[in-house]
Homo-oligomer: A and B are copies of this chain.
Amino acid sequence: MEYTPQEFDRVLSSMCTEPHPAAREAAVEFLADNPGDPASYPDVAAMEADVVETLGEIVGLDDPYGYVAAGGTEANLQAVRAARDLAETDTPNVVAPESAHFSFQKAADVLDVEVRLAPVDADYRADPDAVAERADAETAMVVGIAGTTEFGRVDPIPDLATVADEVDALFHVDAAWGGFVLPFTDHEWHFGHADVDTLTIDPHKMGQAPIPAGGFLVRDPEVLDTLAVDTPYLESASQATLAGTRSGAGVAGAHAALDALWPEGYRETYERQQANAEWFAAALRERGYDVVDPVLPLVAADLPDSTFEALREEGWRVSRTDSGESRFVMMPHVTREMLDAVLDDLDALD
C-alpha cells in the first residue's frame, strides 16, 4: 500500500499547517536529538531554553518558566495537574467556559478532577458571571480561552482573572491556537494583561513549527516545581515535562520558526489571514449563509448538511462545530485562491 503525505491545498479544518521552510530544515537536522535527556543532548536543551525565552516575550512574561510540550493537550493537562496538586482540597474542581477545548475533559479524566463548564454568552465568549457562579472554595483553576477552537473567540481574560482571584484559584489561559495572532490585535489575553498563572501557546499551530511543538508557560517557578515532585536530583525546568523522551525536531523547529517569524512574519501572516477571513465571511454572507463574525482568522458558517457533505466530496477537508457550523480555519497555508475555489464549488452546487 502506497501512502502519501496530506497535501495542504484542500485543508481548511486543521489547526496545524505546513512548517516554515527554516523550521522544516531545523527539524530534519535535530530529528534524532532528545531534549528530554539534556546531559546527552545539550544543544537541543539549550535551544529549548531559547524558545521559552521568546515565548515569554510573546506572552508578556519577562522571566518565563516552562517548556516545549508535545502539544496543547499536554500543556493544558499539566496546568490542571499543577492546580490540582497545589489546591488544599481532596476534591478540586476546574471551572471553564463550555467553549473550552476537549483536552480539559481529557485532563479531568486523567487527573480525576471535576470540570464544571459554564455557558458562554451570545457571542460565544465566556461569561464571567456564569463562571463565578460555578466557582467555589474547592476551585483549583479557572480557565479562559484566547482563541477558541470552534469560533476563534477571545474570552474576557482580565474579568476571568478576577473571578479566579476571588476564589484563590490559579488562572490558566489556553492560547494554543490564538497565541501567534493575538499579539497583533487589541485583545487583552496574556500574563502582561491580567493575573495569569499558566498559559498554553502552541508553536505547531499558528507558530508554523512542525509537530510536536506545544508551549507551556508559567509565571511562578513553584508551579513548575510542583510537576517535578519525586525528581529531587533533577534541577532544571525541563524535568517537569509529562513525557520522558521528547522530540528534538519539535524543539529545533520551534526555535527556527520563532527566529524567522517573530514578530514581523507572524504579523504579516495574521494581517493576510484576517483579511482572508473577513473577505470569505462576506462572500458567504452574500450567498445567504449565516456567518459568525471572524474576530480572529477563523470563519464558521451555517451551511446546510448537504452542502457540507458536497464540499467534503469535492475533497475539501472541512469540519463542523458541535452546533453544526462548518469551520474554515485560515491557517498560513490557506490562500485566497483556495477560498475562491471553495466559493466556485458552492456556486456550482445548484
Contact = CB atoms under 8 A, between A and B. Distances in A.
Nearest to A17: B32
A242 interface: yes
B247 A211 contact: yes
Contacts of A93: none
A342 to B, nearest CB: 15
Interface in A4-46: 4-6, 8, 11, 13-19, 24, 27-34, 37, 39-44, 46
A1 interface: yes
Contacts of A70: 70, 212, 243, 246
A324 to B, nearest CB: 13
A211 B32 CA distance: 7
Contact of A248 (B15, B77, B211): B211
B110 A242 contact: yes
- Copies of this chain, count: 2
A210 interface: yes
A123 B243 CA distance: 29
A207 interface: no
A105 to B, nearest CB: 5
**Of A77, A212, A245, A250, most B-chain CB atoms within 10 Å:** A245
Contacts of A248: 5, 211
A319 interface: yes
A347 interface: no
A273 interface: no
A29 B6 CA distance: 10
A3 B43 contact: yes
B110 A4 contact: no
Contact of A211 (B6, B34, B101, B319): B34
**Of A29, A103, A244, most B-chain CB atoms within 10 Å:** A244
A42 B14 CA distance: 13
Interface string A69-88: 01111100100010000000
Given A243-B70, A243-B73, A32 B6 contact: yes
Nearest to A204: B245
A249 B31 contact: yes
**Of A13, A28, A40, A229, most B-chain CB atoms within 10 Å:** A40
A338 interface: no
Given A40-B6, A245-B211, A319-B40, A31 B50 contact: no
B34 A5 contact: no
A57 interface: no
A230 interface: yes
Given A24-B31, A74-B243, A106-B242, 4 more contacts: A1-B46, A5-B44, A5-B252, A249-B249
5 contacts: A5-B32, A13-B39, A40-B319, A247-B249, A247-B250
